[in-house]
Chains A and B, each alone.
Chain A
């Protein structure tokens, strides 16, 4: 078999499925890790309990909220993503939910999510890079659904608080057909 007809190198396939290599922090600052964890837990419960305004307030003005499809390492400026929101589209998403007529969230999904494996990444400038996993149990009119994702954040200190400048949610089954996902992931 010649080179053209052979399978792609294994590392390509791994990268496609597991994403860009993340650079984890060499030394973990325990205080920062604690602060970041508290922030992520807070975001998780705001999402679980549909506290839309409080969740929206966690974002910076230049925020990007990205849920890729068909892999972890796609180019959102070229390929379809499940969500690729700038700050104004995040606001629109929240406004739609708040109308009470977003049928896929009326009644709202009942949710419980676990955030785990929280690891600090090497800092990119001022922002704090974080990686974590999230597992979400959803039940709604259709039935029960389990979601699992690897997430990446860039958090920014603003007025003594942490804010989200970037959040990427890689659903581990984003290469497969998936049910509606209209709660905040």
Chain B
């Protein structure tokens, strides 16, 4: 370590420069699990995935699977799928509806709040206190507007503190639904990438790449997004603090002043949805919401709302990740929901017009790091034109590296903490 540096992280993460080993070193990955994935707030799932009492679905925290369960009292619990007896899985289904889980190995049975209800041939456990032998539960679970987050740490900042200014983007997403509620129940596509999770994280609000990585689809299909990321774009990137970043295209859409332009269509083509919005919010407010459209926000470390999709980024190892993606639908708005699903299926997932090529880039980046020099990645684009907006958040041009710099600043804080 160089003299005068306070931590190894200071050497690896410099202003606008990050060391390649951060994306490939297995020891760093292990440390990330302890200091990020199994400590801070991470996104797990959505209310609408477990609509009924006793519904469950398998989700994850970092590489680890968790059962997201709506228990018999309607509360959401996150249970760890490891039998306290000898470690077997108490559930191997991806989703379903169960009041209890029975381990197949020796038949211990657990209620869907995790409590051990009974075991086979109980005489052998005479005098044992069952209360300490339930399924482990994730210590902190909290939700915001239906988005369920978890923290494996007993204490720490609240979810609201963690989300901070980025809460606005979740509110914005919900407002696009006439009922104020989103529906994320269409099932996930799971796209594997042989790349570190942070390449995915940093790409989500990278407005520099679309003109090049997606030129094949922009050149053959009309796209509402191509013009957001040109040199002359008025869309901005923003850092909310805590590693949360967004591309905010509202300046561009407000300039166009056309409801539903953000979705590449018009209000007239969606008469039912437009009527629902007007009756829910009044003509004026509905018009503004429909001009502004959905957010494009990356909630650190793993929830990406890409206008009409959500992506959940899952790290598997230093060099392997999974992108879970599904369509965002608006509760009880079938007319627009069909288009939301169709457009999602075209764009994302392993065969998507967009994401196949983004993922190709992640994998090429990853292989590039096996080459020894230069040791650092260069993230200084737009450093000279960062400014503060009225809320005090840092903003830049839509094609600047500002989101990456914001992410690394927060990352360093987390990794330096004991």
Known contacts A1-B109, A80-B345: A92-B220 contact under CB 8 Å:
yes
Known contacts A79-B187, A175-B94: A1-B100 contact under CB 8 Å:
yes
CB distance from B344 to the nearest CB of A (A): 7
CB distance from B212 to the nearest CB of A (A): 9
Known contacts A80-B349, A102-B357: A69-B189 contact under CB 8 Å:
yes
Binds B, one of A18-26, A44-52, A55-63, A81-89: A81-89
Roughly how many angstroms separate A83 CA and B345 CA in the complex, as a whole number? 6
Within 8 Å of chain B (Cβ to Cβ): is A11?
A: no
* Smallest Cβ-Cβ distance to B109: which chain A residue: A1
Chain A positions within 8 Å of B360 at CB level: 103-104, 141, 180
CB distance from B310 to the nearest CB of A (A): 12
| Partner among A8, A70, A79, A99 whose Cβ is within 8 Å of the Cβ of B94 | A70
* Smallest Cβ-Cβ distance to B220: which chain A residue: A95
- Contact B350–A181 (Cβ < 8 Å): yes
Task: Give residues of chain B (203-234) contacting chain A, Cβ–Cβ below 8 Å.
Answer: 213, 215-217, 219-221
Roughly how many angstroms separate A1 CA and B342 CA in the complex, as a whole number? 42
- Contact A80–B327 (Cβ < 8 Å): yes
Roughly how many angstroms separate A181 CA and B221 CA in the complex, as a whole number? 20
Chain B positions within 8 Å of A79 at CB level: 186-187
Known contacts A101-B215, A182-B356: A80-B220 contact under CB 8 Å:
no
Known contacts A103-B216, A104-B357: A177-B100 contact under CB 8 Å:
no
What 0/1 pattern do residues 164 to 185 of A give for CB contact below 8 A with B? 0000000000011111111001
- Contact A182–B94 (Cβ < 8 Å): no
- Contact A178–B186 (Cβ < 8 Å): no
Within 8 Å of chain A (Cβ to Cβ): is B361?
A: yes
Interface of B is mostly: mixed
- Contact A82–B187 (Cβ < 8 Å): no
Chain A positions within 8 Å of B325 at CB level: 80
- Contact B345–A96 (Cβ < 8 Å): no
Chain A positions within 8 Å of B221 at CB level: 92, 96
- Contact B190–A78 (Cβ < 8 Å): no
- Contact B363–A141 (Cβ < 8 Å): yes
Within 8 Å of chain A (Cβ to Cβ): is B82?
A: no
Roughly how many angstroms separate A38 CA and B345 CA in the complex, as a whole number? 31
- Contact A96–B350 (Cβ < 8 Å): no
Roughly how many angstroms separate A42 CA and B394 CA in the complex, as a whole number? 57
- Contact B96–A104 (Cβ < 8 Å): no
Chain A positions within 8 Å of B194 at CB level: 142-143, 179
Within 8 Å of chain B (Cβ to Cβ): is A77?
A: yes
CB distance from B54 to the nearest CB of A (A): 8
Known contacts A92-B220, A178-B190: A80-B356 contact under CB 8 Å:
no
- Contact B345–A84 (Cβ < 8 Å): yes
Roughly how many angstroms separate A100 CA and B99 CA in the complex, as a whole number? 53
What 0/1 pattern do residues 331 to 364 of B give for CB contact below 8 A with A? 0000000100110111001110100110111011
Chain B positions within 8 Å of A102 at CB level: 216, 356-357
Known contacts A104-B356, A141-B363: A4-B98 contact under CB 8 Å:
yes
Within 8 Å of chain A (Cβ to Cβ): is B35?
A: no
Within 8 Å of chain A (Cβ to Cβ): is B322?
A: yes
| Partner among B191, B213, B215, B338 whose Cβ is within 8 Å of the Cβ of A177 | B191
Within 8 Å of chain B (Cβ to Cβ): is A5?
A: yes
Within 8 Å of chain A (Cβ to Cβ): is B179?
A: no
| Partner among B217, B326, B350, B357 whose Cβ is within 8 Å of the Cβ of A82 | B350
CB distance from A149 to the nearest CB of B (A): 13
Chain A positions within 8 Å of B367 at CB level: 141
* Smallest Cβ-Cβ distance to A143: which chain B residue: B194
* Smallest Cβ-Cβ distance to B346: which chain A residue: A89
CB distance from A181 to the nearest CB of B (A): 5
CB distance from A13 to the nearest CB of B (A): 9
CB distance from A185 to the nearest CB of B (A): 8
Chain A positions within 8 Å of B140 at CB level: none
Known contacts A177-B322, A181-B351: A99-B219 contact under CB 8 Å:
yes
Within 8 Å of chain A (Cβ to Cβ): is B102?
A: yes
Roughly how many angstroms separate A181 CA and B191 CA in the complex, as a whole number? 9
CB distance from B72 to the nearest CB of A (A): 11
Within 8 Å of chain B (Cβ to Cβ): is A152?
A: no
Within 8 Å of chain B (Cβ to Cβ): is A110?
A: no
- Contact B327–A96 (Cβ < 8 Å): no
Roughly how many angstroms separate A74 CA and B325 CA in the complex, as a whole number? 17
Chain B positions within 8 Å of A93 at CB level: 353
Chain A positions within 8 Å of B345 at CB level: 80-84
CB distance from B247 to the nearest CB of A (A): 21
Chain A positions within 8 Å of B351 at CB level: 67, 82-83, 180-182, 185
Roughly how many angstroms separate A79 CA and B95 CA in the complex, as a whole number? 14
Q: List 24 A-B contacts (CB under 8 A).
A: A67-B351, A69-B189, A69-B190, A74-B187, A80-B186, A80-B187, A80-B327, A80-B344, A85-B346, A96-B221, A99-B219, A103-B216, A104-B357, A104-B359, A141-B363, A142-B363, A175-B94, A178-B190, A180-B193, A181-B351, A181-B356, A182-B350, A182-B351, A185-B351
The 3 closest A-B pairs by CB, nearest first: A177-B190, A101-B216, A104-B360
Given contacts A1-B100, A93-B353, A96-B220, 20 further A-B contacts (CB under 8 A): A4-B54, A4-B98, A69-B349, A77-B338, A80-B326, A83-B345, A89-B346, A95-B220, A99-B220, A103-B361, A104-B360, A141-B367, A142-B194, A177-B190, A177-B192, A177-B322, A179-B193, A180-B191, A181-B351, A185-B351
